[in-house]
Structure 1
Amino acid sequence: MSNFCRTIVAAGMLLIVASCQPMKMDTYEKNLEIPGHEWSYEHKPVFEVTLLPEDTAYLYNIFVNVRHKDSYPYSNIWLVVSTQFPEGKPIPQRVELPLADMSGKWLGSGLDDIYEHQIPIQQKAILNKPGTYRFTFEQNMRQNPLPDIMNVGLRIEKAGLRKNEKAIP
């Protein structure tokens, strides 16, 4: 076997081993497609994020990602975001996500007739228990189904250490 082939095999084995090891969370991001680009009340996307004990020393910024067509008929979207802490009950919170300014211009980045938004819903959140956090999104607009919503997603990123905490290597 040539050195090149050995290098490829070794790199592949390292990737397999590394993918089996739990990793500290720096950023979590996942986007899910809305079936038929029509978001019904019954469709409730779920995002699960697992934090290791060393992840609990940090503060986190939480965002909702929305991708929609230019033909989306509203300047905002209301969601009920339910957060379930490890071994806890879901805590629902109704949030408004602005998608356009007062003149009707989309706030997100656009390409052709598709716009993407990353909207902060919580800054410096405390996620202080190790385990799996479950976030459920429900569209909470008057129209059902809600047309021209293509994807919805969750992004969580570290915002720094909590006060009086030390990073665990």
Structure 2
Amino acid sequence: MRALLRLWPVLSLLLLAACDPNQVFEKNADFDNYTWTIQEKPTFEFEIQDTTQHYDISFNVRNASMYGYYNLYVKHQLFGPDGKPITTLLHQMILMDPLTGEPRGKGTGDIYDHQFLALRNQQFHQLGTYKIVLEQYMRQDQLSGVMAVGVRVAKAVNK
């Protein structure tokens, strides 16, 4: 039963992604034993084929209720097709209400999925393959309770 509960958020994200015509890329990296070690720096590569378009880049986080903090600090590095760095930023993501400890995000049972907008209206000036590297910045060698992180790239929609 727990296996089904664990798969449900993945299946629902896949169904939602299949319905989004603006999505360019989405991929997640799972961590063994629900632990993100300081040495693990998930890397995601995506293709940009339209330099006139603006894009929103979001980070996905899946955590278990056993995660011991209300927030998560993640540093990203974005590299262009030429290998040169474009941006490096530190992001604070709020996973739980700091006062009540109530989980944020969507969840079933003890697993919660979050999506945080990291870069809004990003424009890429070169065609080709871009690379984004994520690094946990919580100053813990082993950060328990983080099950997966990922990146989503979608065409920006003017609202």
Among candidates 89, 92, 95, match of residue 91 of structure 2: 95
SS, match of residue 31 in structure 1? strand
Counterpart code for 2:109? D
Distance 2:115 2:23 in 1: 17
Distance 2:121 2:101 in 1: 30
Q: Is the 8 A contact 1:58 1:160 kept in 2?
A: no
- After superposition, residues 18-167 of structure 1 pair within 5 angstroms as 26-52=23-49, 55-90=50-85, 91-102=87-98, 103-160=100-157
Q: Percent identity?
A: 35
TM-score normalised over the length of structure 2: 0.80
Q: Detail structure 1 runs of 4+ shifted over 4 Å in the superposition.
A: none
Q: Which has the larger radius of gyration?
A: 1
**Structure 2, unaligned stretches of length 5 or more?**
1-21
Q: How many residues align?
A: 136
Distance 1:123 1:135 in 2: 15
**CA RMSD, 1 decimal:** 1.7
TM-score normalised over the length of structure 1: 0.75
Q: CA deviation at 1:88?
A: 3.6
